[in-house]
Amino acid sequence: MTKTYSALHERLQTRTLENGLRICYLPKEGFSKTFAVLATDFGSVDASFTFEGQRYDTPAGVAHFLEHKMFEDQDGNALQKFTRTGASPNAFTSHTMTAYHFSCTDRFAENLEILLKFVFTPYFTEENVAKERGIIGQEIGMMEDTPGWQAMVGLYAGLYREHPVRVSIAGSVESIAEITPETLYTCHRAFYSPKNMVLVVCGTADFDEVCRMAAQFSPQDAPEIGERHYGTRRSTVYQAEVSRVMPVSQPQFLLGVKDTPLEPGESRLRRGMLGELAARILCGDTAPLYTELYEKRLIGRDFDTDYTLFPQGAAVLMGGESRDPAAVRAAVEAEIARLAGEGIDPALFRRMKKALYGMYLRVLDVPEAYARQEAAAVFAGEHYPDFAALFDTVDAADVQAVFARWARTDCSCLSVIRPQ
């Protein structure tokens, strides 16, 4: 199927194979590199699930551990194979997704074969799993020594009492000690089913050949995905403030406001743009409140905002360094209440909406960014270029409704890393 986005001057080709694997190709003539990502709808929050009639409560960090181990096979290491072809491979695990990708200037078909083979062919032994525990344990140690990471982990732990988003993506040294080859094989079979995955290609490629190769090197056995378990939903936060002492020169903080989860049938792409637009209007780097806080030296240029969505949850996050995080929190919460009650200045709304549209547009020219956004959109039943039409449906009243949700009581948490 080919869908043309006239307003964007883009053309997206899509196909779903008989085994359920979804394939998306965005042609980019004139680009020197072609990018491919093979992603699974399996992230750190999916540790508890029911598969083939049995409930599994796997150790924290299993999705990330699996990502590390997938590059190794009986013939050696996929990274070495990519090195010989001149490709640049990598992978990542987020709260909601695990993805394996590469970019190359030539030998695309050869690189795609390597990608498909190693992702769909797991190889775990007691020896290589034990070795990986040490490597990941060192990675966890480095993250635990990073103030920004600790602020984020603390924030999610404060926002959510049971939801697994409160657990670090990599898990802990204690949790990964419980991961066995059997754990990894179970999670691979449950979540690396073609029905739970998408292949996104951006650049210059033969779409029919991509589909033929994907059919050849992906399994025909595609188990159904079972039910995932995220704990009891609560509208209020677990803790209003979380703090930790670390060797920092001045406090670092993250302020989070809990939003309501996606409603059944609600567009994830549209909700995401509403959340991002509200975050920019509230305290983006050209918002009035940002200027006020910066001039008072309560925030610096490192201050940033983000809006995140995950199964049965959503939140707006913002933070950086500050001599007085509590004062920043008070100002932000007061501005949320004001915007929820008074509405948004029309000129500010138009300016911020136009800027956000430009940001979404630029993603289409960054293959790595586009492929990641496309994978997330496909898992929600959409395509990233659909944003153009969705933007036309967003008005100031929609964003004011977002602020009304954020203005609810007991919905914010402040996570602070304080100097020793």
Same domain, 201 and 80: yes
Same domain membership, residue 187 and residue 293: no
Give the model's pLDDT for residue 142. 94
Domain count, the chain: 2
* pLDDT > 90? residue 415: yes
> Does 190 reside within a domain?
yes
| Mean pLDDT value of segment 329-344 | 98
Residue 223 pLDDT grade (very low, low, confident, very high; cuts 50, 70, 90): confident
pLDDT of residue 376: 97
Domain final residue pick, 182, 217, 252: 217
Give pTM, 2 decimals: 0.95
Asked if residue 377 and residue 307 are part of one domain, the reply reads: yes
The band of 225, judged by pLDDT with boundaries at 50, 70 and 90, is confident
Of residues 224 and 186, which shows the higher confidence score? Answer: 186
> Percent of the chain scored above 90 by pLDDT?
95
Tell me: do 390 and 333 sit in the same domain: yes
Question: How confident is the model at residue 5, as a pLDDT?
Answer: 96
Inside any domain, residue 11: yes
Pairing of strands 241-246, 412-419: parallel
Residue 290 has pLDDT above 90, yes or no: yes
Q: What is the pLDDT of residue 95?
A: 97
- Residues with active-site annotation: 67
Same domain as 70, residue 125: yes
Structure confidence by residue, pLDDT tens digits, 363-385 = 999 999 999 999 999 999 999 99
Average pLDDT over residues 301-323: 97
Whether 235 is covered by a domain: the verdict is: no
Q: What is the mean pLDDT of the chain?
A: 96
Domain that holds residue 154: 2-217
Residues 331 and 368 in one domain: yes
d(CA 383, CA 202): 14
Assign residue 64 the CATH number of its domain: 3.30.830.10
Position 230 in a domain: no
Q: How confident is the model at residue 75 (pLDDT cuts 50, 70, 90)?
A: confident
Does residue 233 sit within a domain?
Answer: no
Please give the pLDDT value at position 30. Answer: 87
Instruction: Report yes or no on 415 lying in a domain.
Output: yes
Assigned domain for 236 exists? no
Q: What is the pLDDT of residues 126-148, one digit of tens each?
A: 999 999 999 999 999 999 999 99
